[in-house]
Amino acid sequence: MKHPSQATLALHAGGDLGPFARWRVDRHLTDCDQCREEVAKYGDLREVLPELGEMPEVAWSRLSAEMQANIRLGLAAGECVRAGEAPSRWSLFTGARAAVALASVVALLVTGLMIERPMPRPNWRNEGIVVQRVPNGIQVREGGQALQLMNPSAPHQQVTYSVGAQGSLRARFVDQETGNVTFNTVYVEE
């Protein structure tokens, strides 16, 4: 099975894909647990890290110039090892090299869009301390920081969760390796 790229999954998690691309990724996600988990992780990150929308100033023009220089350097180095063949004016921009250069530019643009795109700020700053389930585990979080206890060895259906109203959340499961019942607990502590 061919998996979508990480950038595509990240865009999907943020609802930033076009209709056709989204439809294709949705189809893939229905059959692929691995990618679904990746999308969930990107979703979690977006939720807990609104600082993503507050990246410090980046010198894009300098970054772009450095990347172009690196691409030119790589292409020139390739030409050096191809002895006896006189390069034509356009030969540097044909075939696989052109594809690599184009892919680099696209990757740069996609990354730039992902980082630069303004995101709506969730109101977690006012939410306080939260304990909740996350994929394969339980979490206590406040703002951009979180502590999670995972239960990777237990099938999802066989994990039971219980909340203590004083501020705790428990996940209970039978550890598949040891056969022991295990309680993972996270606590709110002010």
Partner 1 sequence: MRRVSLVAALSALCLCAQDVPLDSPNAVKINLKADSPVALLSASMGESRATARGAALMLDLHMALSLRNTTPNRIRGVVLRVVSQEVAVGGKASVSVPSLNVGPGEAFPIRIDLQLMRPTQQAAGGPLVEVDLDGVLFQDFSFYGPDRLNSQRSLTAWEMEAQRDRDHFKKILAQYGPEGLRQEMLTSLARQAERPQLDVRLVRRRAVSGVAVSSEHTAQFAFLKFPDSPVEPLEGWAELSGNEAHAPRVQVRNNSSKTVKYVELAWLVSDEKGQQYVAASLPASKPDLYLPPGQTARVLQDSELHFTRNGEPVNIRQMAGFVSQVEFADGKVWVPNRQNLESNALLRVLNPSPEEQRLSDLYRKKGLQALQEELRKF
Q: What residue type is 173 in one-letter code? A: F
Cα(173)–Cα(158) distance, rounded to whole angstroms? Answer: 6
Cα(44)–Cα(37) distance, rounded to whole angstroms? Answer: 10
Checking DSSP bridges between strand 145-150 and strand 137-142, what pairing results, if any?
Answer: antiparallel
Lookup: tokens for 177:
């390796």
If the CB atoms of residues 92 and 174 are measured against partner 1, the closer one turns out to be 174
Per-residue binder mask for partner 1 (CB under 8 A), 94-113, x = binder: --------------------
Contacting residue, 3, 73, 133, 155, with partner 1 by CB under 8 A: 133
Cα(51)–Cα(42) distance, rounded to whole angstroms? Answer: 14
Instruction: Count CA within 13 A, CB hemisphere, residue 154.
Output: 24
If the CB atoms of residues 99 and 109 are measured against partner 1, the closer one turns out to be 109
If the CB atoms of residues 47 and 79 are measured against partner 1, the closer one turns out to be 47
Site for partner 1 in 51-70 (CB under 8 A): 51-52, 55
Contacting residue, 14, 43, 112, 143, with partner 1 by CB under 8 A: 143
Closest to 144 in 3D by CA, of 9, 50, 24: 50
DSSP code of 97?
Answer: H
Per-residue binder mask for partner 1 (CB under 8 A), 4-43, x = binder: -------------------------------------x--
Q: Which residues contact partner 1 (rule: CB under 8 A)?
A: 41, 44-45, 48-49, 51-52, 55, 115, 126-133, 137, 140-153, 157-158, 160-167, 169, 172, 174-175, 177-190
